[in-house]
């Protein structure tokens, strides 16, 4: 317990030092070069289904299990930026997830419900962005450092006022890293109705892939550094030619095998030296937004080459004291989602034009594990989820959210309904 307390203390001290490092006179400079902002969300959920680790292995025995509830602070984020002049700027983002940091105890559904202690790099306090940028002109900007990888709708707009649901949209959040951030270089620019971005960053680690989350954990690192034996390449193009509508495509390409520590190439397990574990992601998303109507959608499909070899190799490497899961990874995963909301507050003839009350609905289908021929099945990973509720904006920067959701699984499993409420803010202020 003493160790956990020290981890929390160190994290808070680090955050305080980050804030204190800003020159005091910069905050009140006449040129307004310092930018301060952030976002955060608080949520409460009541789940009307079992929380047993055997709920998928023995669904019949847990059909009538008691409901369970949870409080959470999924994300609390501080932005700090500074304009040095002559086209040079910096941006940093520190994120606190789930109220704290340090070790967490989890029950592994694929390992007989065993309790396991898991520690991720940085715990649950992470520096999600830290980059320096040189802007030559609107069409050409170069960004170097720790960067958000904008593959998919959620990674491009992950702040809580950019979706109606209490928690982040479930499909993309399940199968892709989120928020996906990595170290490397980005080139981006705007020209008329077009915006582009191209990135080269550290590659994904195939030994961090698993059944329930596909490649989601592959962008993380359990070490004090990010292994970069291989590199990944990402790109995104946005178009706003049509009024109120943004259309976007994004994607990723890179190898995921032999991108762990220590480097196993030419080492143990020589049979896998030629295994590449190539990851391909293709994504389409859109946003249509007027004063009273908002619609968003995404379609994502991703594949992992050599998935059976990766699954076998990491099962051998994943010793009891290693940070790697023994779960297999499938050959593909997908996530499709659509949500729409309409502001009904004008029907009540309120004088406060800043307030809004959106009634919304969301539907999505996703599967984190589509096995290759010969791999074991895990049919519980294919799901359809519907949600509906309201978002009240008393001021533009704050949303009070409430929703009912229902997760539909295959017929042999039990459906998973829930009710959630939350409050979130998002603001960016320049001084």
Going residue by residue through the chain, which has 431 residues, state the pLDDT in tens, using 9 for 90 and above. Answer: 444 444 444 443 344 333 333 333 333 333 558 999 999 999 999 999 999 989 999 999 999 999 999 999 999 999 999 999 999 999 999 998 887 665 555 656 555 556 566 655 434 788 899 999 999 999 999 999 999 999 999 999 999 999 999 999 999 999 999 999 999 999 999 999 999 999 999 999 999 999 999 999 999 888 888 899 999 999 999 999 999 999 999 999 999 998 988 777 665 556 788 899 999 999 999 999 999 999 999 999 999 999 999 998 888 776 666 778 789 999 999 999 999 999 999 988 777 778 999 999 999 999 999 999 999 999 999 999 999 999 999 999 999 999 999 999 999 999 999 999 999 999 987 65
H/E stretch holding 163 reads none
Q: How far does CA 394 lie from the centroid of its chain?
A: 27
What is d(CA 310, CA 329) in angstroms, rounded to the nearest whole number?
8
H/E stretch holding 4 reads helix 2-20
- What is the set of domains in the chain, with CATH numbers? 37-75+131-430 (2.40.160)
What is d(CA 80, CA 238) in angstroms, rounded to the nearest whole number?
26
* Cα separation of the two ends of the chain: 41
The strand pair at 88-96 and 68-85 is best described as antiparallel
Phi, psi of 160 (to 5 degrees): -70, -15
Q: How far does CA 379 lie from the centroid of its chain?
A: 23
CA 209, 55, 104, 47 torsion: positive or negative? positive
pTM exceeds 0.75: yes
Phi, psi of 68 (to 5 degrees): -145, 155
What is d(CA 287, CA 246) in angstroms, rounded to the nearest whole number?
5
Beta carbons within 10 angstroms of residue 54's beta carbon: 14
């Amino acid at each position: 317990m003493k160790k956990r307390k020290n981890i929390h203390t160190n994290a808070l001290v680090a955050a305080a030092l980050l804030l204190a490092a800003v020159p005091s006179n910069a905050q009140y400079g006449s040129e307004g070069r310092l930018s301060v902002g952030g976002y955060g969300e608080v949520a409460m959920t009541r789940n009307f289904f079992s929380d047993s680790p055997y709920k998928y292995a023995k669904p019949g025995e847990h059909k009538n299990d008691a409901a369970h509830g949870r409080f959470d602070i999924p994300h609390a984020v501080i932005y700090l930026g500074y304009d040095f002049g002559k086209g040079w700027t910096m941006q940093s983002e520190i994120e606190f997830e789930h109220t704290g940091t340090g070790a967490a105890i989890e029950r592994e559904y694929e390992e007989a419900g065993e309790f396991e202690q898991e520690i991720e790099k940085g715990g649950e306090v992470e520096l999600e962005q830290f980059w320096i940028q040189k802007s030559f002109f609107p069409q050409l900007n170069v960004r170097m450092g720790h960067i958000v990888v904008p593959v998919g709708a959620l990674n491009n707009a992950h702040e809580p006022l950019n979706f109606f649901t209490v928690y982040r949209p479930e499909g993309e959040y399940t199968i892709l890293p989120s928020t996906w951030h990595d170290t490397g270089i980005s080139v981006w620019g705007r020209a008329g109705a077009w915006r582009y971005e191209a990135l080269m960053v550290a590659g994904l680690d195939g030994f961090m892939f698993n059944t329930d989350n596909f490649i989601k954990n592959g962008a993380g690192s359990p070490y004090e550094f990010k292994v970069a034996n291989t590199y990944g390449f990402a790109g995104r193009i946005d178009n706003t030619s049509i009024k109120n509508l943004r259309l976007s495509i994004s994607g990723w390409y890179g190898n995921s095998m032999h991108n762990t520590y220590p480097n196993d190439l030419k080492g143990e397990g020589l049979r896998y030296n030629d295994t590449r574990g190539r990851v391909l992601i293709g994504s389409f998303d859109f946003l249509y937004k007027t004063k009273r109507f908002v619609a968003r959608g995404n379609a994502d499909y991703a594949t992992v080459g050599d998935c059976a070899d990766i699954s076998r190799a990491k099962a051998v490497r994943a010793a009891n004291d290693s940070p790697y899961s023994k779960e297999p990874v499938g050959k593909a995963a997908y996530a499709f989602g659509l949500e729409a909301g309409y502001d009904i507050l004008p029907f009540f003839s309120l004088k406060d034009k800043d307030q809004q009350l959106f009634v919304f609905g969301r539907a999505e289908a996703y599967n984190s594990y589509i096995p290759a021929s010969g791999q074991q099945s895990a049919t519980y990973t294919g799901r359809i989820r519907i949600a509906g509720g309201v978002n009240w904006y008393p001021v533009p920067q704050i949303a009070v959210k409430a929703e009912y959701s229902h997760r539909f699984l295959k017929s042999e499993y039990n459906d998973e309904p829930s009710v959630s409420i939350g409050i979130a803010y998002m603001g960016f202020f320049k001084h």
